[in-house]
Amino acid sequence: MVKIQKQDTTEQKILGAAKSVFLEKGMAGARMQDIADKAGINKALLHYYFKSKEKLFEMIFKEASALFFSKINGIIDADIPLFDKIENFCSAYIDMLLQNPYLPLSVLNEATKQPQRFKQKLWKNREQIFIKFAHEIASETQKRKIKSIDPAHLFMNMISMCIFPFIARPVWMISTGMDENEFRAFVEERKKTIPQFIIESLNK
Amino acid sequence: MVKIQKQDTTEQKILGAAKSVFLEKGMAGARMQDIADKAGINKALLHYYFKSKEKLFEMIFKEASALFFSKINGIIDADIPLFDKIENFCSAYIDMLLQNPYLPLSVLNEATKQPQRFKQKLWKNREQIFIKFAHEIASETQKRKIKSIDPAHLFMNMISMCIFPFIARPVWMISTGMDENEFRAFVEERKKTIPQFIIESLNK
DNA sequence: ATATAGTTTAACCAAATGGTTAAAACAAAG
DNA sequence: CTTTGTTTTAACCATTTGGTTAAACTATAT
């Protein structure tokens, strides 16, 4: 008989627990004991599966940043009209972030605190993210289909508006009085309002 | 004779060192020894001036978040035309961030990791930041001067585009190949491109 | 000169934390 | 039943780190 009841193997439980603890507390703030507790096991077993905090963190972080960057390339590289691309990107990226709200803060944090390590370990074969996007903008501008705009700024604007709300979430919630559901609804709305906002600005 | 050569008192040196260490490493990652070293003193003297890490951190963090929020209210509350207000805000806020590049990540980080503490200690008498702004938008919309837009989204868009580049700086620099100066120039440009972008989108 | 506040040195303490170890318990497969 | 890999228990270790202490030194003001 194959394993049926255990949907989660111990390793998966550990990885899940590690992800949530690391993403919430960061490398420095995370405690191995907390991870063990959250996984429902003990510290000995935790080290039985993963040699060190470093190794475990690296594993989680690699996965996290892959998630953080992968969606971008996929959609930006698609072969569809510019405006559709913008709409798709915002919608898909926000969807991903809704499922991983702590992702941006965590990834950008570690990239800030350990820039050299980040560059070495996570930026090996990654190409310029928005080269193709830049060309496309240039082309559309030349064809006089949209107003002239520096692609770097446009790209930065787009990802800023998508990502930042998740980074500023607690402050935004406190300062607007939103609760979890209202915030979720607010960000859900942004899947449409951001593309709208961008396209209004680009349209001649 | 009054003290002349010492522009910085020891207390100021400590506060300066603490600010830079805390903002770069966060509460959990900061080391008292590092702060002492950076201030050019020893740990004993550090504790002679500030009882505990907690106290020192609170001091720095209170000042940091005051800086982070104060500019916003000031400009948003000014009594000038909407578009001027947007231009002023972006320009002044980005200027402030250029002088405190680690501020946003640090403040938002601690707000995320200790939301309750943040709310208690730092959000006592602070009012809704953008109430007045919202009214203004509503009024302009009604007067048919600008396109209809939800003020919350507009406000979020604006602060996102201003703040996010500083949070994503290391990743952005790596992925675009910019160096310090180029990044500075890029953000400097944004003082104009962001208001442009927003106003193009709002104009009927 | 002497008292006072600032500063250094260096040793020290207690707690937290990452990591180890060894023995025992357990479960499943051959 | 025995073997094998997994899991627990619980003690333990080494290091880091926040924080303390006491004695000595320095400069300045009275």
**DSSP letters for chain A:** ----S-SS-HHHHHHHHHHHHHHHHHHHH--HHHHHHHHTS-HHHHHHH-S-HHHHHHHHHHHHHHHHHHHHHHHHTSSS-HHHHHHHHHHHHHHHHHH-TTHHHHHHHHHHHSHHHHHHHH-SS---TTHHHHHHHHHHHHTTSB----HHHHHHHHHHHHHHHHHSHHHHHHHHT--HHHHHHHHHHHHHHHHHHHHHHHB-
Across the range A105-127, mean pLDDT stands at 81
Over the stretch A171-197, which tens digit does the pLDDT of each residue have? 999 888 899 999 999 999 999 999 999
Kindly state whether residue B56 falls inside one of the protein's structural domains. no
**What pLDDT is stored for residue A10 in this prediction?**
87
| Mean pLDDT of each 10-residue bin along chain B, 204 residues long | 51 93 92 94 92 93 87 80 93 95 93 84 67 86 88 96 97 92 98 97 88
Kindly state whether residue B55 falls inside one of the protein's structural domains. no
Query: Which chain B residues in 22-51 lie under 8 Å from chain A, judged by CB atoms?
Result: 24-26, 28-29
Distance of CA B184 to the CA centre of its chain: 16
B130 and B166 together in one domain: yes
B86 and B137 together in one domain: yes
Kindly state whether residue B39 falls inside one of the protein's structural domains. yes
Over the stretch A135-144, which tens digit does the pLDDT of each residue have? 889 888 888 7
Task: Specify the CATH number for the domain of residue A150.
Answer: 1.10.357
A36 and A127 together in one domain: no
**What pLDDT is stored for residue B91 in this prediction?**
96
B149 and B106 together in one domain: yes
B84 and B5 together in one domain: no
Residue contact A113–B200, C-beta within 8 A: no
Number of domains chain B is built from: 2
- Residue B108 CA, nucleotide D24 C1', distance (Å): 45
Across the range A102-107, mean pLDDT stands at 94
Task: Specify the CATH number for the domain of residue A3.
Answer: 1.10.10.60
Q: Given A32, A50, A68, which residue is the final one in a domain?
A: A50
Query: B-chain residues within 8 Å CB-CB of A149?
Result: 193, 197
User: Where in the sequence is the domain holding B96, given as residue range(s)?
Assistant: 61-202
A64 and A41 together in one domain: no
**What pLDDT is stored for residue A5 in this prediction?**
37
B124 and B171 together in one domain: yes
- Residue A44 CA, nucleotide C24 C1', distance (Å): 14
Query: A-chain residues within 8 Å CB-CB of B66?
Result: none
pLDDT tier for residue A127 given thresholds of 50, 70 and 90: low
d(CA B64, nearest CA chain A) in Å? 14
Tokens at B26, concatenated:
């966060």
A156 and A119 together in one domain: yes
Across the range A24-46, mean pLDDT stands at 93
B33 and B74 together in one domain: no
Over the stretch A51-91, which tens digit does the pLDDT of each residue have? 899 999 999 998 898 888 887 777 877 888 999 999 999 99
A35 and A89 together in one domain: no
B78 and B40 together in one domain: no
Query: A-chain residues within 8 Å CB-CB of B126?
Result: 175
Beta pairing partners, B203: B146
B140 and B182 together in one domain: yes
